[in-house]
Amino acid sequence: MNARRVKHLIRKEFIQILRDPSAIAIAFVMPVLLLFLFGYGVSLDAKHVPVAVVVDHPTADTSAFVGGLQQSPYFSPTLYPSIHAARQALMQRRAEGILWLRTDFSRKLAQGASAPVAAEINGVDANNARILEGYLEGMWQNWLARRAADQAASRALPIRADPRIWFNPALRSRDYLVPGLIAVIMTLIGALLTALVVAREWERGTMEALMATPATMGEIIIGKLVPYFLMGIGGMLLSVALAVWLFTVPLVGSFWVMLLLSALFLLAALGMGLLISSAARNQFAAAQIAIIVTFLPAFILSGFIFDIRSMPVPIRLLTHLIAARYFVAILQTLFLAGDIWPILLKNGFALGLMAVFFLGMTALRSKKRLD
Amino acid sequence: MNDPLRFLRVTKSFRRGNGRVEALRDLDFAVSPGRITGLLGPDGAGKTTLMRLAAGLLWPDQGEVRVLALDTRQEAPQIQAQIGYMPQRFGLYEDLTVQENLDLHAGLQGLSDAVRRERQRELLTLTALGPFGRRRAGALSGGMKQKLGLACALLRAPRLLLLDEPTVGVDPIARRELWRIIEGLKQEGATVLMSTAYFDEAERCDEIILLHGGQVLGRDTPAAFRAPLEGRTYLVREDAIGRRKLQDRLQHRPQVQDARILAQGVRVLVTDAHPHPEGAEDWRAVGATFEDAFVARLGEATPRHPVVAAAPPAAAAPPSLETIIEVRDLRRFFGDFQAVAGIGFEVKKGQVFGLLGANGAGKTTTFRMLCGLLPASSGTLRVAGVDMRHARAAARARIGYVSQRFSLYGNLSGAQNLAFFSSAYGLRGGRRRERLAWAIDEFELGEYRDVNADDLPLGIKQRLALACALLHEPPILFLDEPTSGVDPLARREFWQRVNSLAQRGVTVLITTHFMDEAEYCDQLVLMSLGEVLAQGSPQEIRASARDEAHPEPSMDDAFIRLIEAHERDMRRSS
């Protein structure tokens, strides 16, 4: 390893990065775009869900119930004269669910009998339907509890749920999405960008000229690793800054632990990028492979949006091969829960293994020859 | 045993599809120290593979490659620290400046800063790149890129210099400068191995290795290659008929091995050492060149297919005085930059009209305007009686166009490419079948019908592209650098086809930077920096460069003198 040669290779790479708008775009513009899209645009929360309410026989109890519904931020209720009209609205998707307070609502309530409210929910969007179902139940429980308190605890409820939500008390899905997004962004820089720039050297014939110099393959690889490692860390710092200051996602855990584990993930991602480029020697093929084996899995199979535990077993086993999976777990823990060492160590160890594997494979496969 | 480069029974094959193709077979030779050795051979002879093996970038399947007495398998790092290698595409970083490219290579070669500065100053002076240190390599002309590539390979004065076709696509001035540098290196004791497609360069080498089908066909000095041909080369003239007709007649005689059009007549290589005049022909003995030797040696190695001129079509007409292309005061701007600066010329029907010039002279821009692919900024442009500024689509139906890169679909077979282009030109039914059969027959494409265009050798690709462009029987054919990178034999065959087309009344416009090809043209326009420097017949252009020092100037000489004179004028006027 000759330090002078490595220095010159690194300097060359930085000059190229600075002069090539597409590298800057992938490293800095794309992360900002993704963060804005997911931070502002995508939300997994259900808020202001349109609900049709049908009251067969209005009483003081029913108007108190509907009043409670109107004050909730989760629902925007509309009164319908009959269950028939409400079902029509459900069919036309003007309402996502129906609450039907039947004629005997007040009577059964007074008797403490069960299920006086009928709820009908549009199940087309299964995820939303489940959220809505949960919200309705929660709201019903709350209303009952408040009513009991108002009536001077005349009759205590036998069991009372007292839910407490940990780590993300406001249940903001943004707080959960943005940390995972950082893993996707770093995959983009580490694997896609690196695979592309190495393929470009093959395409333009500069790799042939490099190989005919005394520079060793190790030096050529380090010359690629260092600049894109620094770019990846830069992309991560930019994303964390935006997450914390623009999207007000709390960073509960230690920043330094995050930096260290990010570096580990980046090494694994760079290893994948370099390994891809040792097989694909043109930019088109390199981009295709990088997107299919690194970027898309980081999006879909990392647990960033979709919960891994609810996946079928074969897919769940597959996710163990995705480096982003471990990093998403680390980031979500660090941002929302803090330095939970068992999780950090377990996932960090997996990342370390992957980094060693991919970089080792790259070193083994890279010969200083053209065939 | 102190040969700087030695191949010991080297075999090298590559995987292609399911099989393997042998690029080099049992190759055994040595390069002598302190000499310039030229590597010549047709396309696919294995020249680039040989260079890469010598640079340690490929390993032999069998045998051994020894560079400076080191084995390329075991000691590649030590070898690469002592040789200079310039790949075919120069291997420059286009978004780095000239200086940055040099700094990178100096760093990789491990030069100390003091040595680096000294050496870079020397090389920048030698290559005259000094004023362009801050320009990006991508913005340099072809000739300057090539000199920069060479400078990068020369930073640590190499003991062995490997140059893979360093002069392809470069104008005569740049080629002359490159040779000055190479000869300077030889004075300093370096050994040079270079592959080339130019015969005049071969003559300047101390020794030549002729490669064919992965084997050495001959290794000798140029003079020794020429010796057996003494008395077998003649210049034939017959004033009553045109050169093209004469050549067509001569090449069909059994004793004639090669017939090539020159300015003064037809140059003939015969199989025995006797002239064979017939009728009113005037045969005069001339000296043999390396090109003759090349043709003779390869002719023995591969059976020759003379191009058979098919029966002239009904529309055939002798060259007339009818003007078919008229250009007056044509200009084209790209932003502030004037790529074509008010040029004018006329092309007569049935002529072969050449557009010559270095890279960046404005040839391709002019061409694209003539074909209706690019609108002109101002000026008059009439092609086949149609005003190209108003009715471009109408004119396009009457022209055939072969672009620099041939524009074939690489993953379609030869027959599929032809079928596609025939429907693109609107051919149907019986006429379509007839034209497709004609194309396969005329261009001898039968055995390549089912081969994908990407897998065809360059010379065959060129034939296929020409066939595609002629399917709709256009009266005008545009050829943009069709012979760039094509080997000498394929070039020769190509020109025979062009000649036979011209004989049948097709007007051919062609751009080229091979000056020897200029001789095949009836009329020439020599361009530089968007202007026309000279026009006329090849004889007239060469005559304009005649003086006491050069009583018989070649087209290269004429080109260099005209450009130098033009640049002097530019400097005086600015």
Q: Do A139 and A236 reside in the same domain of the chain?
A: no
Contact residues, chain B, for A205 at CB < 8 Å: 87-91
Q: Do A221 and A328 reside in the same domain of the chain?
A: yes
Q: Do A248 and A319 reside in the same domain of the chain?
A: yes
Q: Is the pLDDT of residue B313 over 50?
A: no
Q: Is the pLDDT of residue A215 over 60?
A: yes
Higher pLDDT, B33 or B512: B33
pTM for the model? 0.80
pLDDT given for residue B573 in this prediction: 56
pLDDT given for residue A260 in this prediction: 95
B460: left (phi over 0), alpha (psi -120 to 50) or beta: alpha
Q: Do A179 and A220 reside in the same domain of the chain?
A: yes
Number of CB pairs, chain A paired with chain B, less than 8 A apart: 86
Q: Is the pLDDT of residue B153 over 70?
A: yes
- Residue B496: pLDDT band by 50, 70, 90 thresholds? confident
With CB atoms and an 8 Å threshold, state whether B108 touches A9: yes
Q: Is the pLDDT of residue B201 over 60?
A: yes
Q: Do A133 and A247 reside in the same domain of the chain?
A: no
pLDDT digits (tens, 9 = 90+) for B39-93: 998 777 888 899 999 999 999 999 999 999 899 888 888 898 889 999 987 889 9
Bridge partners (DSSP) listed for residue A98: A52, A120
Q: Do A331 and A217 reside in the same domain of the chain?
A: yes
Read off the CATH number of the domain in which A94 is found. 3.40.1710.10
Residue A166 lies in a domain: no
Q: Which two structure tokens, joined as six digits, stand for B169?
A: 């696509």
pLDDT digits (tens, 9 = 90+) for A237-280: 999 999 999 888 889 999 999 999 999 999 999 999 999 988 88
- Residue A163: pLDDT band by 50, 70, 90 thresholds? low
Using an 8 Å CB-CB cutoff, list residues of chain B that contact chain A: 14, 52, 55-59, 76-77, 80-81, 83, 85-96, 100, 103-110, 149, 152
- Cross-sheet strand order for the sheet of B5-16: B19-31, B5-16, B62-67, B70-71
Q: Do A225 and A355 reside in the same domain of the chain?
A: yes
- Tell which of A204, A213, A368 to mutate to test the B interface (max B CBs under 10 Å): A213
Contact residues, chain B, for A368 at CB < 8 Å: 56-57, 76
- Answer with the one of A117, A150, A183 that is the final residue of a domain: A150
* pLDDT, mean of residues B522-543: 86
Higher pLDDT, A142 or B51: B51
Q: For the residues of A259-283, what is the DSSP string, one character each? A: HHHHHHHHHHHHHHHHHHHHH--SH
Q: Do A55 and A21 reside in the same domain of the chain?
A: no
Q: Cβ distance A17 to A26 under 8 Å?
A: no
pLDDT given for residue A110 in this prediction: 77
pLDDT digits (tens, 9 = 90+) for A328-369: 999 999 998 888 899 999 999 999 999 999 999 998 888 888
Dist. CA B524–CA B512, nearest whole Å: 11
Q: Do A199 and A245 reside in the same domain of the chain?
A: yes
Q: Do A311 and A231 reside in the same domain of the chain?
A: yes
Residue A163 lies in a domain: no
Residue A156 lies in a domain: no
Q: Is the pLDDT of residue A30 over 90?
A: no
pLDDT given for residue B359 in this prediction: 66
Q: Which of B205-219, B311-325, B340-354 has the lowest mean pLDDT?
A: B311-325
Interface of A with B in 2-31 (CB under 8 A): 2, 4-5, 7-9, 11-12, 15-16, 19-20
Q: Is the pLDDT of residue B311 over 70?
A: no
Give the gap in angstroms from C-alpha B18 to the nearest C-alpha of chain A. 16
Q: Is the pLDDT of residue A233 over 70?
A: yes
Q: Do A119 and A254 reside in the same domain of the chain?
A: no
* A211 interfacial to chain B (CB closer than 8 Å): yes
Residue A311 lies in a domain: yes
* A215 interfacial to chain B (CB closer than 8 Å): yes
Q: At what angle do helices A255-279 and A194-204 cross, to 10 degrees?
A: 30
Q: A322-325 long-range contacts, Cβ below 8 Å, gap at least 24?
A: A322/A297, A322/A298, A323/A187, A323/A265, A323/A268, A323/A269, A323/A272, A323/A298, A323/A351, A323/A354, A324/A183, A324/A184, A324/A187, A324/A265, A324/A294, A324/A297, A324/A298, A325/A301
Give the gap in angstroms from C-alpha B83 to the nearest C-alpha of chain A. 8
pLDDT given for residue B314 in this prediction: 38
pLDDT given for residue B41 in this prediction: 84
pLDDT given for residue B445 in this prediction: 87
Compare CB distances from B100 to A5, A15, A214 and report the shortest one's residue. A15
Average pLDDT, chain A: 85
pLDDT given for residue B169 in this prediction: 67
Q: Is the alpha carbon torsion for B472, B473, B478, B479 positive or negative?
A: positive
**Exposed/middle/buried for residue B458 (C-beta within 10 Å: 0-12, 13-18, 19+):** middle
% of chain B with per-residue pLDDT over 90: 20
Contact residues, chain A, for B80 at CB < 8 Å: 212-214
Bridge partners (DSSP) listed for residue B64: B8
Residue A348 lies in a domain: yes
Q: Do A71 and A145 reside in the same domain of the chain?
A: yes
Strands (E), chain A: 49-55, 75-80, 97-101, 117-121
Contact residues, chain A, for B85 at CB < 8 Å: 209, 212
Q: Is the pLDDT of residue B303 over 60?
A: no
pLDDT digits (tens, 9 = 90+) for B121-144: 888 888 878 888 888 888 887 778
With CB atoms and an 8 Å threshold, state whether B95 touches A212: no
Residue A250 lies in a domain: yes
Strands (E), A82-188: 97-101, 117-121
For residue A278, what are the domain limits? 3-42+172-365
Nearest alpha-carbon partner for A192 in A279, A269, A305: A269
Question: What's the structural domain count of chain A?
Answer: 2
Compare CB distances from A15 to B55, B80, B96 and report the shortest one's residue. B96
Dist. CA B9–CA B27, nearest whole Å: 5
- Residue B290: pLDDT band by 50, 70, 90 thresholds? confident
pLDDT given for residue B317 in this prediction: 46
Q: For the residues of A106-124, what is the DSSP string, one character each? A: HHHHHHT-S--EEEEE--S
Q: Is the pLDDT of residue B264 over 80?
A: no
ipTM for the whole predicted complex goes beyond 0.85: no
Nearest alpha-carbon partner for A107 in A61, A153, A53: A61
Average pLDDT, chain B: 84
- Answer with the one of A119, A150, A181 that is the final residue of a domain: A150
Q: How many beta carbons lie within 10 A of that of residue B284, not counting itself?
A: 11
Residue A322 lies in a domain: yes
pLDDT digits (tens, 9 = 90+) for A80-138: 988 888 888 888 888 888 888 888 877 777 776 665 777 888 777 777 788 788 888 87
